[in-house]
Amino acid sequence: MSLNGRIPNGAAQATEVPSVSVIGINFGNSFASIAVLTKEGLAECIANEDGERQIACAISFHGEETYIGNEAKQQLVKNSANTIIGFRNLLGKKFSELPKDRPTSSAPVIQHPDFPDTPAYKVQVLQPAPSPLSPAASALTTKTNTPAASQVATPRSEPIPAERVLTPADVTTVFLRSLLQSAEAFLGKDVYGAVITTPGWFAPAQLDALHEAAEAAGIRVLQLLEDAGAAALCAAANASGVEQSAAVGPDRTQLVVDLGASSLSLSLLAVRQGLFHHLTPATHHPDVGGDAIDDRLLKFFAKDFTKKTGVPLKVAPASEGPDARAEARLRLALLHTKRTIAASVAGAGGSAATCAVESLKDGLDYTGSVNRLRFDMEATPIYGVVVTRVGELLKRAGLDWICVDEVVYAGGSACLPGLDAALAVHLHEDALTPFITGTVAGGGIGDPTTVLARGAALQARLLVGIGVSSEDERIRKAFERGSELVSVKATARTIGVLFPTASGEGEDGLGGQWIGGMQAETVVPARRTYALEVELGEGAEGVEKKIGLEVWEVREGVTIEKVKAPKEEEDGEDVEEEEEIERKEKRIWKEALLGTLTVGVKSKERRVEVQVQFLVEAVGKLQVSAYQTGNRDTKTVLVI
Amino acid sequence: MGDIITLPVVSLPQQTDRKSEPSQANTISPFVERKLIPVGPAYLAHVRRVVHDLSFEEHDKHVEEEEKRRRNLEREADDEDDLGVGDEEETEDVLSLDPKEWKKQDHYAVLGLSHLRYRATPEQIKIAHRKKVLKHHPDKKAGAVGNSNDDAFFKCIQKANDVLTHPEKRRQFDSVDPYYDLLEADVPTTQQVTKAKNPNSAFFKLFAPVFEREARFSRKKPVPLLGEYSDSKEVVETFYDFWYNFDSWRSFEYLDKEVNEGSDNRDDKRYTEKKNKTERARRKKEDTARLRAIVDVALSADPRIKRIKQEEKETREAKRKNKSGPGGGPSKAQTEEEKRRIEEEDKAKEEAEKVAKAEAKKAKAAAANAAKKARRVARAEAGEVP
C-alpha cells in the first residue's frame, strides 16, 4: 500500500509519516470503521475496545447505562424502543422530508417537541438522583436551635426515570466521540484530525450537519471525503505496491461497488494516473443492500425453524411481540453467518455457515446451517439487482461491461464472493477485482469492509503533510467542498501513435502497431511518457535508421459478434442445437491524423528503446515528442 | 521525468522513407468538462501545478528537491536514532562466550559498545541491547543449520544488559573493567620521558591518556586533566593537589568470591564474607597506592615543574640584580618581594626548627628505647645466670 514507489503524474507526495496522528473514519449508516497510520506508513483498520473492526452505528439507552456500537445492537432484542440505529441518513434532514411508512425495529423517529420540523428520538433513561446535601451545606441551615444534622450521609435516592429527546446530530456526536476515544485509546495519544467519508449523494445541508456533529464530538475534520474517492485512493495505493497486470495500467476505468447493509452506491470512475473523476454521476439505491439479503435469509431460517420444531415463526416483517423479538435475535445471529460465508473459500462446496440462536421462540433453541450454494441461491435476486443497476450505470456512461478495467468493492455486503461471481460473468476476463487478486481474504488490502476507512486515513496523512504557508493554504482550500479547482477539462478522444508497417497491415486493420498514449477522459494538463523497445531491421553500422510514427486521434468502441459456441467433443450428444454466444472485443477506429514524426536512431543493437511523450496543455495544445532513450539529440517534436 | 510506462517490445519493420500523409486535423477534439474527486497525491500535485502555475518540468524539479530534502531529514533522523551504536562486528571469541562464566565476559564487547565503554550513555546501552536482541534472539535461529537451541550468546547479551543497566552493578563492573587491566599495568616511567628525543612533548603524550583513564573514577567532577606545557603555576598546582587527594569511587565487589552456594552453613558464609571484605579493602588500598605512584612519577617527570622553578629562579636573579644594580632604589614590588622572602625564610627556619625538634624527640625516644633494651638484656642475662 506504500505510495513510495511510483508517484502518479509526478506528484510531490513525500510519504513522511506526519508527527501528529490522524485517522480515517468510515461513517456508514449501519457500520463504521476507524483506520490509523502505522509506523511503516500503511493505513490499518483498528478494532475498538470490544474487539470489533466493524462498529455498528447504534446507541442504546438502558437505565443509567448508555451502550454504543455492537453491544447497543444486542439491545435491539429486548430494548428496541430505546435503541437508535440508522441515524446517519437523517442528519441534516427535515422531519417532513422523511419517509413515514417505513417499519422500524428501533426507536421511532418523531417530530422534535421544541424545534419545528426537526426529527428526533425519544428514549427512556434513568437519571441519577441529585446527590443529598453535603454536611457542609446543611451546616449553614443549623445555625438556629434546630438540632445539628446527622453526619451520616443521607442514602442516595433511587434514580429518576426521565425522557431524553435526541436529534440525529446529538446521536452522531455521541457516536463519533466514542470512535475518537477508541482511536485515541489505540494510539495512546491525542488525534489531531480525521477525514470522514460521506456518501456521494449527501446534500450540502447533510454534509454541514455531519461536519458540525463531528466538530461537536471534538474531531478536527480535515475533509469530508466522498466514499468513492476513499475507495479509489485505497485501491490506487494498493495497485502501486502490487504488480500491475498489463490490462490495468495507471489509466483505467474503475467501477466502485459500495454495497452496505442498507444501500447500494455505484460509481464509475476514470482513473488517470491517480486523478479520479466520475464518468457519470454516481447512483444510489436505498432499496438494495445487505438487509435485503438478511430478509431472505431470515425467511429461510424461519422456515427451517418451523420445520425442525413445528413452531410457526413469521419474520420479515414480523407481526407481533414474540416473533419480532425472534426476528431481532435471528438478525443478530445472521451477521455471523454472513461473515462465515464471506470468509469461505470460493468453490469449496462443503463449507457451511451455521446460524445458532438460543431460545429463539417459545424457549426453543435453533441451530441451522447454510452452505455457499444455498446462500447464493437466496442472495441471487439481490445480486441480480446489483448487476442490473451496474448495467444501467454503464449504459448511461455509454460504456460496455468490458470497458471496466477494475472493480473496487466497499461495504460489508460486498464481501460476499457470490456478488463478485455475478458481476464477473459480464466483465472482461482481464478485469481486476479484489477477489481475483486475492486481497479480500484475511483482512487483505482489498478488504471491502476496511477499504473506505483506510482510504480516508491515507487522505488524512496527505492533508496534514501540506505545509502552512499562504500558498499552502490555497492548496488546502482545494480539498474543501466547493473548490473551483475540481472543475477541470478532460480530453474527449484517445490520442496515440501508430507505427505503420510497410505493408500497411496490422491488427484491427489500423495499418500498424497502435500505442494509445493519451486516453480519452484524461484530465488536462497531462503528460504521459512511454518507453518502447523497437526492433530494427538489419542495417549497416553507423547508418542512421528512421522510425516513423503517425499521431492519430481515435474513437474507441466495442464490437459484438455472434459466434457459434465451440462444440464440445465429449458430450456432443447432450448439446442438440449449437448455441450462439456473443464475443465482445474492444476496438478502435481512426478518426483524424494529427501529424507524423520521424525519429532518427543510431544504434548497433537490433533493438533500441524509444520514448514517446505526450503533453496536452490546458489550452488545448498537444505536443508529441519522440526520442531515443538517453539521447535527447534525437528528439523530434510535433506541436498541434 | 514523472512516470514512464514501459511497454513490451514493438516489432517494427524498418522505416526508411515513408511518404508522410497530410494531416487530417489541425487540432485535437474539444475538451469535455469534468469534476475531479479531491483525493489522493495526484490531485495534490495537480493543485500544486495550478496554484503555483508550474509546467511539468518545473514541477518535476520541485519534486526532486522536495525528495532530496526529505531524504536528508530522514538521514538525520536515523542518525539521531541509533546514536551510532550496535553496528560493531562480533568476533568469534565474543560469540563463543559461555553464559555461565558471565563474570569473566566483557559486557561492553558483548553489546557491541567496546568503543565507548564507560562513556556509553544509558540510551546507547538500551539501543545496543535492542539491536543485539533482534539479531540474536533464539526465535530467529529456529530452523537454522546446526544447533538451533543454541541461545548461549543470547543469554550473554541479557546478562550484559542486566549488569550495564543497573547503575550499581555497572559501577562495580566499570571498576574492574578487564579492558583496562593491561593498560593499567603499563604505566610510563621517568626513564621513558627522559630518554625520549623531546622529553617535553613525550611527557604529555605518555601521561595524558593515563590521567584521562584514571579520571573516570573520580567522584568529583570536573577532573583537571594533564593540560599542556605552557600552563601556569596555579593550574599545575591545582592539578597535583587534586590528584594527590583523589576521591575515587572505584571498588572491588565484582571480584568477590561467591559464597559457596547450597551451603547453609552461616559460619562458612561469614567467613567468605569476611574474606571478601578484607580482600576488597586490600585491593582498594593497592589501587590508591597505584594511583599515588603514578602521580609521583608524573610529578617527578613533569617538565612544567622544572620550567616553573627555572622561572622563579630567574625572577629572583633578576630581582637581586635589580637590587644590586646601579641607581635603582627598591621599588614597592621589590620591597614586597623582599618581605615575602624574609617571611619564607622565617617559615623555613621555623620548619627546620620543627624538624630539629622532632629529630631531637626521636633521638630521645631512641635513647630511651636503647636504655630499655639494655635493661631488658641485662635482666635476661641476670635471669639466665641464676
Residues A535-590 pLDDT 10s: 766 555 556 677 778 888 888 888 877 776 555 555 544 444 555 667 777 778 88
Asked if B250 and B221 sit in the same domain, the reply is yes
Contact call for B39 and A455, based on CB within 8 A: yes
Q: C-alpha angle A207/A213/A215, rounded to 5°?
A: 100
Nearest to A488 among B26, B36, B51 (CB): B36
| Domain match, B195 and B278 both | yes
- Lowest mean pLDDT: which of A174-188, A270-284, B15-29? B15-29
Please state, in angstroms and rounded to a whole number, the distance separating the CA atoms of residues A224 and A203: 12
pLDDT digits (tens, 9 = 90+) for B61-84: 888 888 888 888 877 765 555 666
d(CA A291, CA A30): 10
- State mean pLDDT over B242-252: 89
The reply to whether B306 and B191 lie within a common domain is: yes
pLDDT level of residue A2 (50, 70, 90 thresholds): very low
Residue A573 lies in a domain: no
Instruction: Judge whether A348 lies within some domain.
Output: yes
Residue A225 is nearest to which of B13, B39, B59, comparing CB atoms?
B39
**B110 and B189 co-located in one domain:** no
Dist. CA A231–CA A398, nearest whole Å = 23
Residue in chain B lying closest to A246 (CA): B7
Would B147 be classed as within a structural domain? Answer: yes
Residue B278 forms part of a structural domain: yes
Domain boundary among B107, B135, B165: B165
The residue out of A358, A377, A396 marking a domain boundary is A377
**A488 or B144, which is more confident:** A488
Is there a single domain that holds both residue B131 and residue B105?
yes
A52 vs A4: CA distance, rounded Å: 30
pLDDT band at B147 (very low <50, low <70, confident <90, very high): low
Scanning B91-120 for CB atoms below 8 A from A yields none
Query: pLDDT for A366-383, tens place per residue?
Result: 999 888 888 888 999 999
Subunit contact A471:B20, Cβ cutoff 8 A: no
The CATH number linked to A351 is 3.90.640.10
- Among A377, A398, A419, the domain boundary falls at A377
Judged by CB atoms closer than 8 Å, whether chains meet at B38 and A479 is answered as yes
Provide the domain count of chain A. 3
Q: Is the pLDDT of residue A448 over 80?
A: yes
Amino acid at B156: C
Confidence label for A167 from pLDDT (cuts 50, 70 and 90)? very high
What pLDDT shows up at residue A1? Answer: 37
Residues A345 and A409 both lie in one domain: no
Is A131's Cβ below 8 Å from some Cβ in B?
Answer: no
Q: Which of residues 304-363 of B touch A (CB under 8 A)?
A: none
Query: Do B290 and B197 have their domain in common?
Result: yes
A304-317 pLDDT tens trace? 999 998 888 887 67
Window A:12-31, CB contacts with B under 8 Å: 12-14, 16
Same-domain status, A500 and A523: yes
- What's the grid cell of residue A290? 445487505
Residue of A nearest to B43 (CA): A275
Dihedral sign for Cα A571, A575, A578, A584, please.
negative
Same domain, B207 and B160: no
Of B7, B21, B66, the CB nearest to A593: B21
Phi, psi (rounded to 5 degrees) for A625: -130, 145
Main-chain phi, psi angles of B116, to 5 degrees:
-105, -45
Q: Tell me the count of A-B CB pairs closer than 8 A.
A: 262
pLDDT score recorded for residue B7: 66
Cα separations in angstroms, B284 against B219, B253, B287: 15, 10, 5
A50/B91: higher pLDDT: A50
Does B10 map to a domain? no
Q: Which of residues 520-559 of A touch B (CB under 8 A)?
A: 521, 523-525, 527-539, 545-548, 550, 553
Partner residue opposite A513 with nearest CB, options B12, B17, B22: B12
Higher pLDDT, A579 or A196: A196
pLDDT at A8 over 70: no
B133 within a domain of the structure (yes/no) = yes
| CA-based nearest residue in chain A for residue B27 | A640
User: Residue B204's domain spans which residues?
Assistant: 182-311
Residues A274 and A320 in one domain: no
A194-203, B74-83, B88-97, B153-162: lowest mean pLDDT where?
B74-83
Provide the percentage of residues in chain A whose pLDDT is more than 90.
20
pLDDT at A567: 54
Cβ contacts of A528 on chain B, cutoff 8 Å: 5
Query: Is B118 within the bounds of a domain?
Result: yes
Signed CA dihedral, B10, B13, B16, B22: sign only: negative
The closest CB to that of A593, out of B3, B12, B23, belongs to B23
Q: Identify the pLDDT of residue A134.
A: 55
The answer for A 261-290 residues in CB contact with B (under 8 A) is: 269-270, 273-278
User: Same domain, yes or no, for A525 and A600?
Assistant: yes
Mean pLDDT of A99-116: 79
- The CATH number for A398's domain is 3.30.420.40
Say if B80 is an interface residue toward chain A (CB within 8 Å): no
Percentage of chain A with pLDDT > 70? 81
Is ipTM > 0.85 here?
Answer: no
Least confident range of A118-132, A245-259, A282-296, B299-313: A245-259
Report chain A's C-alpha Rg in angstroms.
Answer: 31
Asked if residue A472 belongs to a domain, the reply is no
Q: Is B175 inside a domain boundary?
A: no
- Do A281 and A295 sit in the same domain of this protein? no
Q: Is residue B217 located within the same domain as residue B302?
A: yes
Domain end point (choices B83, B103, B126): B83
Closest CA to A16 of B77, B37, B61, B49: B77
Would you state the pLDDT for residue B142?
Answer: 67
Q: Provide the pLDDT for residue A453.
A: 92
Q: Do A12 and B44 touch (CB under 8 A)?
A: yes
Q: Is residue B18 part of a domain?
A: no
pLDDT digits (tens, 9 = 90+) for A494-521: 888 887 765 555 555 666 778 778 888 8
Q: Is the peptide bond before A525 cis (omega within 30 degrees of 0)?
A: yes
- A-chain residues within 8 Å CB-CB of B32? 489-492, 521
**Mean pLDDT in chain A?**
80
Distance of CA A516 to CAs A214, A244, A568, A638, Å? Answer: 46, 18, 38, 16
B229 plus B252 within the same structural domain? yes
Q: Burial level of B322, CB count in 10 A (0-12/13-18/19+)?
A: middle
**Which neighbouring-strand residues pair with A368?**
A355
Residue A330 lies in a domain: yes
Mean pLDDT of B208-236: 86
pLDDT at B23 over 80: no
- The closest alpha carbon to A70, from A43, A97, A38, A33, belongs to A33
Position A329 in a domain: yes
Q: A401 with A389, same domain?
A: yes
Chain B residues 5-24 with a CB less than 8 Å from chain A: 5-18, 20-24
Return the C-alpha cell found at A315: 419474520
Which residue has better confidence, A181 or B350? Answer: A181
pLDDT of residue A617 exceeding 70: yes
Inter-chain touch A275–B44, beta carbons under 8 Å: no
Full residue range of the structural domain in which residue A332 is found: 290-377
A242 has a pLDDT exceeding 50? no
Residue B224 has pLDDT above 60, yes or no: yes
Element (H, E) at B220: none
Q: How far is A392 from chain B (nearest CA, A)?
A: 20
Name the domain boundary from B113, B140, B165.
Answer: B165
Task: Evaluate whether residue B26 is within a structural domain.
Answer: no
Shared domain check, B250 and B143: no
pLDDT of residue A103: 66
* Residue B2 in contact with partner chain A when CB distance is under 8 A: yes
In one-letter notation, the amino acid at residue A565 is A
Give A507's contacts in chain B (Cβ within 8 Å): none
Residues B219 and B294 both lie in one domain: yes
Of A475, A487, A527, Cβ closest to residue B33: A487
Residue A256: predicted pLDDT? 92
Q: What is the pLDDT of residue A4?
A: 37
Are A365 and A429 members of one domain?
no
CB B229 within 8 A of CB B204: yes
The reply to whether A19 falls in a domain is no
A404 and A506 share one domain? no
Do A442 and A500 sit in the same domain of this protein? no
Contact A486 B48 (CB under 8 A): no
Contact B45 A615 (CB under 8 A): no
d(CA A454, CA A444): 12
A14 pLDDT above the threshold of 50: no
The per-residue pLDDT for A371 is 85
Domain match, A252 and A269 both = yes
pLDDT, one tens digit per residue, over A42-93 is 888 999 888 888 899 999 998 888 999 989 988 888 888 899 998 998 888 8
Report the domain count for chain B: 3
Average pLDDT over residues A123-146: 64
Give the closest of A273, A528, A529 to B42, CB-based: A273
User: Does residue A392 sit in the same domain as residue A512?
Assistant: no
- Among A18-22, A544-548, A632-636, B154-158, which range has the highest average pLDDT? B154-158
Of A490, A528, A547, the CB nearest to B31: A490
A223 in contact with B at a CB cutoff of 8 Å? yes
- Spatial distance between the Cα atoms of A294 and A57, rounded to a whole number of angstroms: 17
Please tell me whether residues B67 and B145 are part of one structural domain.
no
The partner residue sitting opposite A250, judged by closest CB among B3, B22, B62, is B3
Q: What is the mean pLDDT of the segment spanning B151-158?
A: 87
B47 touches chain A (CB under 8 A): yes
Query: Is A416 in the same domain as A326?
Result: no
User: Which chain B residues are Cβ-neighbours of A525 within 8 angstroms?
Assistant: 49, 56
What is the structure's pLDDT at B145? 59
Domain final residue pick, A377, A410, A429: A377
